Structure 1
Amino acid sequence: MRGKGIGLADVLEIEPNFLSRHGVRWWAGGSGLFDPTTIATAREQGVETISNLYGSSEFAPFAVSCVEHFGDYHVAQGHVLVEVVDSSGRPLQTRRRAESS
């Protein structure tokens, strides 16, 4: 299995209580179909928000699954903003911004 990414369903096969054990409240996945059984398991383990982001490895996500109708997507074209943060979630300063402070 080396070099092959695994999905949440695979993780849950290895560690069935992974989501609840780690206190996961938001599952954001990418570009694949989410298995209804995995969605139900995630909800049972306390996941409150499930988002499926559609995009590619070359671009930021340009569509996100609808909160009310999970199988539908909303286009986020032109509304994707990227902010680099540190491990505690605080925005990192750019060198220019830091030098002018």
Structure 2
Amino acid sequence: MSDLIEWSALGQVLVAGMLVGAGIPALFALGLRLWAGTTPDGEDTAASAEPAPHDAAGRAPGAATIARPTPVRLVGAILCMTVVVGAIVTGLVFLVSGGH
């Protein structure tokens, strides 16, 4: 049975599949979450079913104010997105070069 299946190669494929198939999308989601602003605690951000009138600045009364991300979160988001873009470019270069 061990002649039929190369267990070390199967393990390498499994690890690579988990990293690329689950790790890269998770890193992308983390980068988006870090990039997104935050709302103050306890503030409801759900939109109501009926449209609200807007003020002179174009905001609906009672609309949530979303703060910009902190510099630390912004750096983390940029690092996550850089890794994701790097993985995509590396994969494309690998495929264009013949995939060997």
TM-score, structure 1 length as denominator? 0.23
Larger Rg: 2
Report 1 or 2 for greater relative contact order, CA contacts < 8 Å, sequence distance ≥ 6: 2
